[in-house]
């Protein structure tokens, strides 16, 4: 009987140890998020659209909930301020559709806050993406020639989960503000 109790106790301890190891392996660190942001920043700055799409695809859950509050003076007056509920594909396509209309593009992505909840295995971040470049005239409503330099700042509060070793955003709440400079 004593041997049986020892075997049961050992089995319970093994399960607890393996569970703790599994949770430790699944933990998301601030460096993990910094690596994702650096990979995106490098791909965007090098205009490596395929790499950017691959990174976005790999780091956003298929069922992610994405909300974008956008202030953009290049849009028609009725659409300059809008709140969009979009899915993963729409989020990725927003980059692909805009980049061909921009020259001298540069981006910087940084994490301003990071919190990890070990109970849920969720990391919460506030990331800032600052983009600059020149928007070609076909993207500027009501303008007939030239290009305008712009700055876009996107602040996203993001929830990340680590499923089977893949860190993915499950929710993003973003505020985007675009500002235009004088014609160049």
27-31, long-range: CB < 8 A, 24+ apart? 27/116, 27/118, 27/121, 27/162, 28/116, 28/121, 28/122, 28/123, 28/160, 28/161, 28/162, 28/167, 29/116, 29/123, 30/111, 30/114
Residue 16 has pLDDT above 50, yes or no: no
Structure confidence at residue 19 as a pLDDT band (50, 70, 90): very low
What was the pLDDT predicted at 4?
Answer: 55
Q: What does the DSSP assignment read for the chain? A: -HHHHHHHHHHHHHHHHHHHHHHHHH---HHHHHHHHHHHHHHHHTT-HHHHHHHHHHHEEEEEEEEEEEE-TTS-GGGSEEEEEE-HHHHHHHHHHHGGGEEEEEEEEEEEEEEEETTTTEEEEEEEEEEEEEEEGGGSTT--SSEEEEEEEEEEEEEEEEETTEEEEEEEEEEEEEEEEEE-
This prediction has a pTM of 0.78
| CATH topology assigned to domain 2-183 | Nuclear Transport Factor 2; Chain: A, (3.10.450)
pLDDT tens figures, 100-132:
788 889 999 999 999 999 999 999 999 999 999
Structure tokens that stand for 19 in this block? 């569970």
pLDDT tens figures, 128-146:
999 999 887 655 555 545 7
Q: Average pLDDT of the chain?
A: 83
pLDDT tens figures, 64-75:
999 999 988 777
What was the pLDDT predicted at 25?
Answer: 53
Structure confidence at residue 56 as a pLDDT band (50, 70, 90): very high
Lay out the sheet containing 60-71: strands in order across: 81-86, 60-71, 166-183, 147-163, 122-136, 102-117
What was the pLDDT predicted at 11?
Answer: 43
Residue 36 has pLDDT above 50, yes or no: yes
Strands 60-71 and 81-86: antiparallel
């Amino acid at each position: 009987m004593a041997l049986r109790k020892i075997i049961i106790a050992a089995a319970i301890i093994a399960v607890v140890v393996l569970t703790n190891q599994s949770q430790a392996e699944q933990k998301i660190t601030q460096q993990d998020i910094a690596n994702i942001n650096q990979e995106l920043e490098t791909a965007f700055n090098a205009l490596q659209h395929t790499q950017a799409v691959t990174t976005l695809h790999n780091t956003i859950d298929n069922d992610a909930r994405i909300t974008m509050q956008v202030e953009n003076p290049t849009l028609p007056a009725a659409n300059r301020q809008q709140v969009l509920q979009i899915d993963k594909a729409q989020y990725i396509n927003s980059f692909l559709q805009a980049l061909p209309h921009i020259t001298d593009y540069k981006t910087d992505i940084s994490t301003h806050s990071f919190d990890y909840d070990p109970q849920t295995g969720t990391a919460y971040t506030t990331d800032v993406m600052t983009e600059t470049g020149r928007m070609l005239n076909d993207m500027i409503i009501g303008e007939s020639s030239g290009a305008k330099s712009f700055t876009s700042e996107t602040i996203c509060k993001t929830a990340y989960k680590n499923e089977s070793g893949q860190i993915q955003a499950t929710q993003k709440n973003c505020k985007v503000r675009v500002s235009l400079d004088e014609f160049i």
